Amino acid sequence: MISIWFFIGISLAVNGALILAAGIYQLVNPPADPGVVLYHLHANVWWGAALLVFGLIYCFKFAPKRKA
Amino acid sequence: MTSLLTTAVATRLVHLSSVDIVIVVFYFALVLSIGWYLRGRANTGEDFFMAGREMTAWVAGLSFLSANLGALELMGWAGSAYQYGILATHWYWIGAIPAMLFLALVMMPFYYISKTHSVPGYLKLRFGEPARAMSALSFAFMTVLMSGVNMFAMAKVMQIVLGWDINFSIWVSSLTVAIYVTLGGLRSAIFNEVLQFFLIWAGALLIPILGLYEAGGWTNLKLQIAQRTSEQYVHLWSGLGSFTTNPMGIHWTGIVFGLGAILSMGYWTTDFLVVQRILAAKDIRSAEMAPIIGAGFKMMVPFIVILPGLLGLAVLPERLLPESVAAVTGGHSYNDVLPLMLARYCGPGLLGLGVTALIAGFMSGMAGNVSAFTTVWTYDIYRPLINSKGSDHHYVNMGRWTTIIGVLISVGTAYLVMQFASIMDYVQALFSFFIAPLFGTVVLGMLWKRTTGPGGFWGLLCGTISSIGMWTWVRLDPSALRYVALSPHAKGLAQDMYQALWSFLVCVTVTVVVSLATKPMPDGQLTGLVYGLTKVPSVGDVPLYQKPLFWAAVVTVIFFVLNIIFW
């Protein structure tokens, strides 16, 4: 059976990738009105990256094993 | 889907971008995929209702905590932190940690070795059919009603925060839950609860991190809160010497004896919604470790719930209002503090994750209600009272149909609440009536072998009636609160604490008196159910760091240190 931790890895990796992509897009195309406080910290870049790395670790560590 | 999700009303608090909507839609796709994947692993009663009793300590522990970590809980307690300050933390520390450790070390062995499917099932083994029937009927009825009340409340939140249509929120979320629980049973509910746990932390953790950065650290935050409100907003215990020296209008005796010793014990040790997750553990060590793991994480939850409320006091430019005032003036209420903080710091993507965390919290809470209702209905009502000769396959089918029917009743309740809002108050109050007396009955049954069947039944009944009586008394005559809560200065929350305390004492007194007046149960009948007559199984020959007692001691030390730090 596929481990629950693998599903969690997928969830965090996909969400992290989407958030990181949105953050990089904003870095490249800075909005006139960011709409959030502390925009200069670019939280979506580093938080998205952290979730992506964490998720990928879980995906690889708990990936379903192929049967011999 | 996208056009439906973005159907707006003028008053929405946040606006979702395309990437936010993709994140929300991905969550729905993932939970349905998990349910679909697990559909072939829910063919027997043990699989469907008990997740095969093969959950590890971590999965059972995180699921145990998640079943309680609903979206309304997060938003409500963040709002309470804004309203009452750090005192709201008591509901996470003294109002949870001792009870979770008590469940792990004292009660769990009996639940586990009796191989019961439910808490009412334990009452049947210990006290006989009448106690089980009363407990099961009240639990099933209230659980499904609570699910509907929460469903409506969450749909309302989604309307206010995101501008979503109420009907859309109710039907999409309830149908999703119905599909994945019907397909995968308790295992599917547990998997999604663990997923929700991670999503909540991933979505909510940024708020306190960025908030503390903006406020200039904890020390500066305390100064700002003291300037805007009072110094008592950042102290856990120092203002509890009197009802008048703290924002909550409560005395330390209410917190310690009402909340810590009774109300939380009742909830965390006898509410089948949470206990069911532990009963799915794979062995006795996992069953004992699971609540301890849950307790460790529970101590950290104030960081993502209470701290955002406190940060709101310091950094939000506007003053938030009580719900009733906000409804009239059009301002934001205390309960809006978490979405407001989310919108303050979270840009595209992060906002979607935060909203997903709220939706996930709501849906897993509903799945918890529905799966617990299904088990109690099938094993404690349908099988003993209606059809005791069905096959295992028949009861699994009954469980699947009950899941769908339970969701539909919840939807019906949600629409009923939409028409008659006052029902919400009554349903929430009704649920609290049973908690404290049930704890009295179960704990006496486990710890005192002289407790008899009639004693357990009449104690439970009288405790519940006394609770209803006190609530009705204060409802009809609000000044009666001075008698129930022992002070003319007591406020609403104090009533819950003292009501629980008195109803517990009534339950225990009646149980003891009736038990002493009735014929003792033979020892042979109580083996495996009561301390002193049961050989509690060992957790095995494991190293110290794998022993539940060791981790319970670690959690206890941290619990005391935290309370002293924030005294």
Which pLDDT score, from 0 to 100, does residue A68 have? 52
What's the DSSP call for residue B165? -
Measure the CA–CA gap between B151 and B174, rounded to whole angstroms: 8
3-state secondary structure of B333: strand
Angle at B353 between CA B100 and CA B171, to 5 degrees: 85
Cα B242 versus chain centre, distance: 29
What average pLDDT does this structure show over A35-50?
90
3-state secondary structure of B55: strand
pTM (predicted TM-score): 0.88
Chain B residues inside the 8 Å CB shell of A19 = 19, 23, 349-350, 352-353
On the CB side of B478, how many CA atoms lie within 13 Å of its CA? 4
- pLDDT greater than 80 at residue B555: yes
- pLDDT greater than 60 at residue B546: yes
How confident is the model over A8-29, as pLDDT tens digits? 999 999 999 999 999 999 999 8
Beta strands per DSSP E along B18-115: none
How confident is the model over B502-541, as pLDDT tens digits? 999 999 999 999 999 999 988 888 888 888 777 777 777 8
How confident is the model over B133-166, as pLDDT tens digits? 888 988 888 888 888 888 887 887 788 778 888 8
How confident is the model over B35-68, as pLDDT tens digits? 899 888 888 888 888 888 889 999 999 998 988 8
CA distance B281 to chain A (A): 15
Which pLDDT score, from 0 to 100, does residue A66 have? 60
Virtual torsion, Cα B133, B137, B139, B140, nearest 10 deg? 130
Which pLDDT score, from 0 to 100, does residue A9 have? 95
User: CB under 8 Å to B119, separation ≥6 — which residues?
Assistant: B111, B135, B139, B270, B271, B272, B275, B438, B442
What average pLDDT does this structure show over B83-100?
92
Q: Which residue of A has its CA nearest to B39?
A: A1
Query: What share of chain B has pLDDT > 90, as a percent?
Result: 32
Chain A residues inside the 8 Å CB shell of B23 = 15, 18-19
Chain A residues inside the 8 Å CB shell of B344 = 36-37
Chain A residues inside the 8 Å CB shell of B198 = 8, 11-12
How confident is the model over B183-198, as pLDDT tens digits? 888 888 899 889 989 9
Could you write out the DSSP letters of every residue in B167-203?
Answer: HHHHHHHHHHHHHHHHHHHHHHHHHHHHHHHHHHHHH
What average pLDDT does this structure show over B337-357?
88
- Whole-complex ipTM: 0.94
Structure tokens at B120: 């009412």
* Highest mean pLDDT (candidates B107-121, B202-216, B313-327): B202-216
Comparing CA positions, the residue from B455, B403, B420 lying closest to residue B123 is B455
Using pLDDT thresholds of 50, 70 and 90, give the confidence band for residue B247.
confident
What average pLDDT does this structure show over B103-119?
85
CA distance A9 to chain B (A): 9
Reported as type and span, the H/E element at residue B362 is helix B350-375
What's the DSSP call for residue B283? S
> By the 8 A CB rule, do B469 and B535 touch?
no
Token pair 């005796």: residue: B253
Measure the CA–CA gap between B261 and B256, rounded to whole angstroms: 6
Query: What are the angstrom distances between the C-alpha of B380 and each of A67, B47, B120, B362, B386?
Result: 41, 17, 7, 26, 10
- B37–A14 C-beta distance less than 8 A: no
How confident is the model over B252-285, as pLDDT tens digits? 888 898 888 888 888 888 888 888 888 888 888 9
CA distance B476 to chain A (A): 48
